[in-house]
Amino acid sequence: MRVECEKPSFLGGQNMQKQVNLLPNEIPTKWYNIQPDLANNLEPLPPPKGEQAKNLPNLMIGTCLEQEFSDQNWIDIPKELLEIYMKAGRPRPLFRASNLEKKLNTPAKLFYKSEFFSPTGSHKVNTALAQAYYAKKQGIKRLTTETGAGQWGTALAYACALTELECTVYWVRAVHDWKHDRRAFMQMLGAEVYASPSNKTEAGKKLYNKNNKHPGSLSIAISEGLEDSQNHSDAAYTLGSVLNHVLMHQTIIGLETQKQFEKIDMYPDIMISCLGGGSNFGGFVLPFVGDILTKDKQIRFIAAQSQSAPNLQGKYKYDYADHAEITPQLKMYTLGHQTDFKPIIGDGLRYHGCSPILSLLRKHGYIDTIAYPIDEKYVFERAMTFMQTEGWIPAPESAYSVACAMDEAMKCKRTGEKKVIAFNVSGHGFLDIHGYKEVQGLK
């Protein structure tokens, strides 16, 4: 009877369904931690190493540190946090890209997950809220972080506002100075935002005093965020990607998607998302990777990347997560932590390394990758077709996910295969329209 109630019924059957959603009370109540399934089916996840690894307990929020190395497959999402997820609009719909299919004249069935309904514009809120929630429980008063493109800083500012924590964001000056709207947005959410290098930390001052217009870098901003939290016992430092607990928090995306496919009696043949550090990709696919490892399922996973930083095509080795070698070393696919990458609009994809979990899966052949040209014309043209057929403006990073899904749909057109292709649209582009204008030459 329950199944009958849930099944979409009114539009002439399931295949007509343009949107699949869950009710708030159907939200997944546990995160999926893939670590034990990796250990049992492939090999254990290589731990972080180096002197800095010993210092983790002083840097990280307690519960997040436990989760980082947990051997439990399923971890309860606290009830209060579930309520906050609902306030953030979860569950989020899974859309059938029916207009896009028609436009491409493909026999493939395309579905996309709508992380673009996020209050700050990206999937980053899923872990920001979890980290802020646990920090609050632990009695922490303030969270510090760095941000590059600004998505993570905005998400943390939002999460701190909702959990009544203070928030300090060190933002790479070169970006801080021209993203006026995103900066105001963080401030409106109550965050203190400093262009980095700033004169608020010793690490920053050294550079700031020499040049108060120093453009900064992600590694300098990391140093500032870390120093700020180390010097204040009621503050903690947070990270928005790469780490195991971050990917686990993001599995809410894939777990919802699984339930949504169950509702329409379908299962994806191909799953696609963009990949920088790996948090949206991991959150989307890991619950399905679990199916592959433990059940008799087959899915092709494709990471959409930029030729600017195709980290999954790098080397699998221990490397630092940051330029300044402040973090422990992680075993991951990396292009080298001191490599310079050409600027792209999809700045969130411009990172040297990939999450250890996804790197291990890559090593074992579970994840394919495609890297798109640096000029981004190919990608943004496809994002425009998506906009004009499906109506949503993807974030520049998510445009890569869209482009890759369209490429796979066109392959199906040539072969006649009716594959089910699922892709994640990890954020919206309302704050990035200037980037589209630049690439598309609009006036």
**Does residue 6 interact with a second copy by CB under 8 A?**
yes
In this chain, which stretch among 23-31, 46-54, 249-257, 275-283 interacts with a second copy, using CB under 8 A?
23-31
**Does residue 11 interact with a second copy by CB under 8 A?**
yes
**Does residue 442 interact with a second copy by CB under 8 A?**
yes
**Does residue 2 interact with a second copy by CB under 8 A?**
yes
**Does residue 119 interact with a second copy by CB under 8 A?**
yes
**Does residue 23 interact with a second copy by CB under 8 A?**
yes
In this chain, which stretch among 8-16, 288-296, 321-329, 419-427 interacts with a second copy, using CB under 8 A?
8-16
3-state helix, strand, coil in the chain (%, to 5): 45, 20, 35
Find out whether 178 and 100 touch, Cβ atoms under 8 Å.
no
Handedness of CA 331, 258, 121, 234 (dihedral sign): negative
In this chain, which stretch among 324-332, 370-378, 416-424, 426-434 interacts with a second copy, using CB under 8 A?
426-434
Does the bond joining 46 to the residue before it have cis omega, within 30 degrees of 0?
no
**Does residue 430 interact with a second copy by CB under 8 A?**
yes
The side-by-side arrangement of strands in the sheet containing 109-114 is: 19-20, 94-96, 109-114, 420-425, 270-274, 300-306, 367-372
In the complex with a second copy, the residue whose CB is nearer, 249 or 352, is 249
SS3 per residue for 380-438: HHHHHHHHHHHCCCECHHHHHHHHHHHHHHHHHHHHCCCCEEEEEECEECCCCHHHHHH
In this structure, what token pair is assigned to residue 246? Answer: 């971050």
Find out whether 432 and 126 touch, Cβ atoms under 8 Å.
no
Q: Binding residue for a second copy (CB under 8 A) from 57, 71, 79, 210? A: 79
**Does residue 187 interact with a second copy by CB under 8 A?**
yes
The footprint of a second copy on this chain (CB under 8 A) covers a number of residues equal to: 65
Instruction: Report the chain's C-alpha Rg in angstroms.
Output: 21
H/E run at residue 172:
strand 166-172
Residue 81 to residue 86: CA distance in whole angstroms: 9
Which residues have CB under 8 Å from 143's CB, separation 6+?
A: 131, 132, 135, 156, 160, 165, 166, 167, 168, 229, 235, 236, 237, 238
Angle at alpha carbon of residue 348, lines to 125 and 404, rounded to 5°: 100
Q: Binding residue for a second copy (CB under 8 A) from 161, 195, 242, 370? A: 161
In the complex with a second copy, the residue whose CB is nearer, 187 or 294, is 187
**Does residue 422 interact with a second copy by CB under 8 A?**
no
The 341-380 site mask, x for binding a second copy (CB under 8 A), equals: ----------------------------------------
Nearest to 93 by CA among 240, 268, 245, 264: 264
Residue 392 main-chain phi, psi, to 5 deg: -105, 140
In the complex with a second copy, the residue whose CB is nearer, 130 or 371, is 130
In the complex with a second copy, the residue whose CB is nearer, 118 or 250, is 118
In the complex with a second copy, the residue whose CB is nearer, 18 or 377, is 18
**Does residue 170 interact with a second copy by CB under 8 A?**
no
**Does residue 410 interact with a second copy by CB under 8 A?**
no
**Does residue 209 interact with a second copy by CB under 8 A?**
no
**Does residue 29 interact with a second copy by CB under 8 A?**
yes
- Residues of this chain that bind a second copy (CB under 8 A): 1-2, 5-6, 8-12, 16-21, 23-25, 29, 79, 82-84, 86-89, 93, 95, 98-99, 114, 117, 119-121, 158, 161-162, 180-182, 184-185, 187-190, 384, 387-393, 428, 430-431, 433-434, 436-437, 440, 442
